[in-house]
Amino acid sequence: MSEPTVPSVEQISIQDKAAPVEKTEKAKPALAAKPKKGNKVSLKTPKGTQDYNPQQMTIREQVFSDIKTCFKRHGAVTIETPVFELRDTLTGKYGEDSKLIYDLADQGGEICSLRYDLTVPFARYVAANGVLNIKRYHIARVYRRDNPVMTKGRFREFYQCDFDIAGEYDLMVPDSECLRLICEILDQVKVGKYLIKLNHRKLLDGIFAICGVPADKFRTICSAVDKLDKSPWAEVRTEMVETKGLEPAVADKIEAFVKLSGKPFELLAKLRETKMCDSNKDAVEALNQMEVLFEYLECFGCSDKILFDLSLARGLDYYTGIIYEAILTEQDRVGSIAAGGRYDGLVGMYGKKDVPSVGFSIGIERIFTILEEEYTKKNQKIRQNATQVFVAQMDKSLIKERLLICTALWNAGVNTEYSYKVNPKGGNQLNYANDNLIPLVIFIGKSEMETNTLSVKNMFTGEQISIPREGFVTKIQDLLSKIDMNAIPVTSNTTSTK
């Protein structure tokens, strides 16, 4: 990841309701300041945040639902953690990115920060609750004091969708399932063609040792290598040598390794044939682990989506094993759309026992950016509601009849709407149902009242029938069961009102 430009430290003050009040002065309720005439209140959202309209939320809810379905298919449970943590919980876990943590000026006697990701709070949760094994997902907002580029899906407040497996398991078994699950999710959300770049932290550290990087510079040089996806080698080399004090000859040796990438078994064979890593036992062990992983990925049917890439570094300090990032191959506007790896020592930082863990996060905001852009290109709007039936009246003074019909449908679990006008115009009601892609409209007028019937129109086929008022709910449910909601067109121009 490219190193962002970091603004000056920003703090959010939180007034603790339990803060003591001076005994010598009676506490007075705060009065809201009245805006002066002519002064306009700013209506913009804070930098790096945004509002989401109903069309955007429809996309987001559908994608969240698809991702949850994938998580649950693999047996995951979900948890929730506070939106802020004790600052000591977060510091020292993110390497150079620690400068992006949002600090809170808390008057409650504890120094807290907004959560930077969902992985560190998960590790704290596992240690605090004595959990020895868990497969969990967590979808929630996180916060980063980053320099936002919102057109590329980079925000200061955004959602992460995490999946992690914690526990003592055999080599590469849970790791391979995580990679398989990433493929399932990206296929499900139809975000485009992708590849998952894969490397191993022990292999990377072994390469650094082979090249002569001092051990105390492994993490800082790793952070520099992590920028190769966005910066050319010349710039990364300059950072290594001029900023981080690495010997030029050592940096040149690193170049020979980090420019290598290829199909999993092909690059693995090349590294073994050339014996480039044979002088370091950690590198050799990592290659042996990668071979096991590649074999499992073949069984999972996703090895063709894997790129073995020695330039992949992942800048976060807590990774200890395999690391990976998913990228789109047909465009590079939003960067990686999923990333993760193994972090066996993180839980042990909070408790007496290490609990080995592996997991990933889906770059959900970047996926939303891509999907929203696709709909914009096609000039499409989304069916924003889940309404199945609209109840319309064709004559005056039938508001109570409509309310009775709606009540019966709601009691049966049928999603139903009606106009909020006592005597709405027939055309406006039909336009609303048509614009919002509501499949069935129930009409009631004088003739229906006289014959104790209801008229029902299928808005997609144009077919209209008459049904008895008695037991009408069962008939409506039967008609709805025959409509394929997945085949309903997505184009919608919601211009009319109820």
Give the residue ranges of the annotated binding site: 117-119, 144, 160, 164, 314, 318-319
Cβ pair 410, 429 in contact under 8 A: no
Residue 210 CA to residue 228 CA, distance in Å, equals 20
Give Cα 294 distance to the centre of its chain.
27
Residues 6+ apart with CB under 8 A from 382: 55, 58, 59, 375, 490, 492
42 C-beta neighbours (distance < 10 Å), count = 5
Question: Which residues participate in the annotated binding site for L-histidine?
Answer: 117-119, 144, 160, 164, 314, 318-319
β strands within 174-319, DSSP E: 194-200, 261-262, 306-309
Residues 6+ apart with CB under 8 A from 257: 207, 211, 276, 310
Please provide the DSSP assignment of 366-406 as one string. Answer: HHHHHHHHHHHHTT---------EEEEESSSS-HHHHHHHH
51 C-beta neighbours (distance < 10 Å), count = 9
Cβ pair 304, 198 in contact under 8 A: no
Backbone angles phi, psi at 342, to 5 degrees: -95, 135
Give Cα 359 distance to the centre of its chain.
14
**Token match 């063609």: residue?**
193
Residues 6+ apart with CB under 8 A from 451: 466
Alpha-carbon torsion, ordered 189, 191, 194, 199, to 10 deg: -60
Q: CA 444, 445, 451, 452 torsion: positive or negative?
A: positive
Cβ pair 193, 330 in contact under 8 A: yes
Cβ pair 165, 356 in contact under 8 A: no
- Identify residue 276 by its one-letter amino acid code: M
- What is the token pair recorded at 151? 């057109």
438 C-beta neighbours (distance < 10 Å), count = 22
Residues 6+ apart with CB under 8 A from 486: none
Cβ pair 126, 166 in contact under 8 A: yes
**Token match 């520099």: residue?**
224
Cβ pair 261, 308 in contact under 8 A: yes
